Amino acid sequence: MSKPDIKQSYPEHPSLAAVSIAFLKVSLYGIGGGGGLVWARRITVDQQRWISEQDFADIVSLCQFMPGPNIVGIAVCVGTRLRGAIGAVAAVSGFLLIPWTIGFIVGVLCLQHAQNPVLQHILGGISAAAAGLLVATGLRMMLPHRGSPAAVIFASLGFLLMALAKLPLLIVLIGLAPLSIAAAGFQIARAR
How does pLDDT run across 40-85, given as a tens digit for each residue?
Answer: 999 999 999 999 999 999 999 899 888 888 899 999 999 999 999 9
Instruction: Find out whether 78 and 40 touch, Cβ atoms under 8 Å.
Output: yes
The residue ranges of every structural domain in the chain are 6-146, 147-192
Helix H or strand E encompassing 132: helix 117-142
pTM of the entire structure? 0.62
User: What's the mean pLDDT in 31-47?
Assistant: 84
How does pLDDT run across 80-134, given as a tens digit for each residue?
Answer: 999 999 999 999 999 998 888 888 998 898 888 889 999 889 888 888 888 888 8
Cβ within 8 Å of residue 94, ≥6 positions away: 19, 20, 21, 22, 23, 24, 27, 75
Beta-strand ranges (E) seen in the chain are: none
> According to the model, what pLDDT value does residue 130 have?
80
Instruction: Find out whether 41 and 6 touch, Cβ atoms under 8 Å.
Output: no
